[in-house]
Amino acid sequence: MSAADLTLEAARQGLVLAVVLSLPFVGVALVVGLTVAVVQAATQVQEPTLSFAPKLAAVAVMLVILGPWLGAELVRYAAALLERIPQIGLR
């Protein structure tokens, strides 16, 4: 593989990793946001700031729970990139 191909593959893997790592947080925020919206519609309380605090708390809890996995995945990706440096080289 050429240096350009290796660089593009590394960029693609980085983008896929970013999507995979952000998906749990987006999913939790979506579920909590929909739940709060249903509760607000049922109680007719239309306070826009009311949905922010539960989403923030849910994302913070997910960060605490998934923190070790997130860190391990980022370290794995960084190590793979550092191992590819000699393959890419300066041509």
Ordered by start, the domain boundaries in the chain are 3-88
Q: What is the pLDDT of residues 23-70, one digit of tens each?
A: 999 999 999 999 999 999 899 888 878 889 999 999 999 999 999 999
Alpha helices in 1-91 (DSSP H): 3-43, 52-88
Task: Report which of 4, 13, 53 is spatially closest to residue 29, judged by C-alpha positions.
Answer: 53
Print burial letters for 5-38: b (CB count within 10 Å at least 16), e (below 16).
ebeeeeeeeeeeeeeeeeebbeebbeebeeebee
Tell me what pLDDT residue 64 has. 97
d(CA 7, CA 68): 27
Report the pLDDT averaged over residues 60-89. Answer: 92
Output the pLDDT for position 6: 86
- Report whether pLDDT(91) > 60: no
pLDDT one-digit tens code per residue, 33-46: 999 999 998 998 88
Specify the pTM.
0.80
